Amino acid sequence: MDSPHVFEPAKSKYLVITIDYLLPIFLSIFVIFLFYLAIFSPIFTVKQVSCTLDFSECTHPSVLAELDKLKGQNIFRLQSDAISTKLTSGDFTIREVVMKKSLPDSIGVELQSVYPVVALQVVGDPNWVVLDSQFRVIATRSSDPNVPTVVVPGPLVLTVGKPVTDDVLVQSIKLALSLSSELISVKSITMVDEFTIHITLDSGIVAIFSPKVDELRQLKTLQVVLSGGTITTGIRTIDVRFIQPVLR
């Protein structure tokens, strides 16, 4: 008995394209198109770069010049870590860099300054000049930086990124930090002249120091006087510039 014949369709000489072939092809083409659009299209070329430093608009020329180089580059190819490293290594006053991309063509850069440890203020000027631990100028602020502040009588000639060089002013700054570390409640520190520093305590008493005399000795003398509560009763000034304190 002959076995039943099984029908086998002959293979076509022509390419037959079905949905099973078309879908992967279209997906591949679409992915390639998106890749080209993202990397090479001028749509995603950086055109706007905004910058803030401690929530204020950036003004430092070197920072602005560096950020201006980002314009014209592809927004997807920008490396945030590389930009952050370049900015922090080029300017010691920058502690942290946060970069935010806004498609299709905008970049927002937020900079944070290094932590201030002391501030300077000119009499009558509402602004503070903040310094880092090496007494280098970080920036000028219109709000109280909440650090020990030295008030000076005349104009200040300082440059951002450069340390304070005036010896008397440096001594006044060191004194402000010493008083803070000794937890002596200070209302204000005023540099009267190159020989005299007035320190107004929270109690209203004014301690008179000299930047020309050993700071540690003057500080210890003040601590001894303040530790005797009855001694300071009715006293308005404590002058510790001499071997024996002068109370008035």
Count the Cβ atoms, other than its own, within 10 Å of residue 153: 11
What pLDDT is attached to residue 54? 83
- Same domain for 182 and 215, yes or no, is yes
What pLDDT is attached to residue 98? 94
- Same domain for 215 and 190, yes or no, is yes
Q: Is residue 13 part of a domain?
A: no
- Dist. CA 186–CA 178, nearest whole Å: 11
What pLDDT is attached to residue 9? 56
Could you read off the pLDDT of 95-149 as tens digits, one per residue?
Answer: 899 999 999 999 999 999 888 999 999 999 999 999 998 899 988 888 888 888 9
- Same domain for 133 and 193, yes or no, is yes
- Same domain for 168 and 227, yes or no, is yes
Q: Which residues of the chain have pLDDT under 50?
A: none
What pLDDT is attached to residue 17? 59
What pLDDT is attached to residue 13? 55
Can you give the residue range of the structural domain that contains 226? 118-247
- Dist. CA 241–CA 71, nearest whole Å: 59
- Same domain for 144 and 98, yes or no, is no
- Same domain for 70 and 153, yes or no, is no
Domains contained in the chain, number: 2
Q: What is the DSSP string of 126-185?
A: --EEEE-TT-BEEEEESS--SS-EEEESS-----BTSB---HHHHHHHHHHHHHHHTT--
Write the Ramachandran bin of 123: left for phi over 0, alpha for psi from -120 to 50, otherwise beta: beta
